Chain A
Amino acid sequence: MSLVAREIEAAGIPTVIIGAAKDIVETVGVPRFVFSDVPLGNSMGLPSDATSQAEVLEYGFRLLETAIGPRTTVQTPVRWPGDGHSWKRDIMNLNSLTQEAIDKARADFEHQKTLAAVNR
């Protein structure tokens, strides 16, 4: 998506990415980025919380209005329910992963690639 933002911006249209994977977006390099430190899938704010989602969108609007140069990132105050951070431990966590689990993950990955290839 970062590559798409760059292309649209280069065509003269100001862009803002609203997302949750800060290191990825900033590594590629984009004009404007609104970051929320929440699990992937929740770029636009908390589930079933229109106020949170409106707040995140407003950060996007404000960034479009105020950024004075590229690579401008702002972080929203959105916090994931609970302690706000323990979800991070579970992402692609290799600790205590058995060989059986690794084999299954690999088999699943290969299977899904086969399914996706049908749509090419």
Chain B
Amino acid sequence: MRYIDRTRAWYNTLGYQPYRWPSYDDVPFATLKRSLADSKVALITTAAPVRDDVGDQGPGAAYNGSAKFFDVYSGSTADPFDVRISHLGYDRNHTTAEDTGTWFPIERLNDAVTAGRIAGLTERFHGAPTVRRQRSTTDDHAPEIARRCLEEGADVAILVPN
């Protein structure tokens, strides 16, 4: 699936300038400091906290711009609140978003902790806003999420976009 080509053609047809994804020559790389069995894992999501005041957020909701968020948020991994993806362009023709496990793997991560595959989760998971203005991500959201990961002693981070 070539999403970039499809998206460009779609928005051209609608009369908009197509989104231009950034592309970097250099990619950072860090190595594991300890085994995963001794590592604390941070989970980063593009899902949004469910709100009472913004209408249908699924499962099966139509695109809901009111559920979109513009600031980094964090939630407890021990007692996570409900997060949904109605503000994102997932494939509504072929998936109903009934199972949060397909985009927010907190249960599977807890299974991995129980199995000893990883040492544990950071105290909080973190929500990354999905915004068109890339400077908001590079200058504000990404550094803030990195700061929170460092603050909580994350050894590795798992990021799940939708």
Show the binding face of A for B, using Cβ within 8 Å: 1-19, 21-25, 27-31, 37, 39-48, 50, 53-54, 57-58, 60-61, 64-65, 67, 69-71, 80, 87-88, 90-92, 94, 97, 102, 105-106, 108-109, 111-116, 118-120
B9 touches A92 (CB 8 A): yes
Whether A116 and B66, one on each chain, are in contact in the complex, defined by CB atoms closer than 8 angstroms, is yes
Residues of B within 8 A of A64 (CB): 32, 36, 156
Q: Are A119 and B101 in contact (CB under 8 A)?
A: no
| A71 CB, nearest partner CB in chain B, Å | 6
A90 to B: closest C-beta gap in Å: 5
14 other contacts beyond A19-B161, A28-B21, A120-B70, with CB at 8 A cut-off? Answer: A1-B160, A4-B44, A4-B159, A8-B149, A21-B3, A29-B24, A44-B105, A47-B96, A58-B117, A64-B156, A91-B3, A92-B9, A111-B65, A115-B65
Per-residue contact bits, chain B 130-141, to A (CB 8 Å; 1 contact, 0 not): 100010011001
Given A24-B3, A54-B108, CB of A13 within 8 Å of CB of B158? no
* Residue on A nearest B6 in the bound complex, by CB: A92
* Nearest CB on A from B34, distance (A): 11
Is B158's CB under 8 angstroms from A87's CB? no
Q: Which residue of A lies closest to B19 (CB)?
A: A24
B158 touches A60 (CB 8 A): yes
Bound-state Cα–Cα, A102 to B14, Å:
6
Q: Give bound CA distance, A106 to B3, whole Å.
A: 19
Is A109's CB under 8 angstroms from B91's CB?
Answer: no
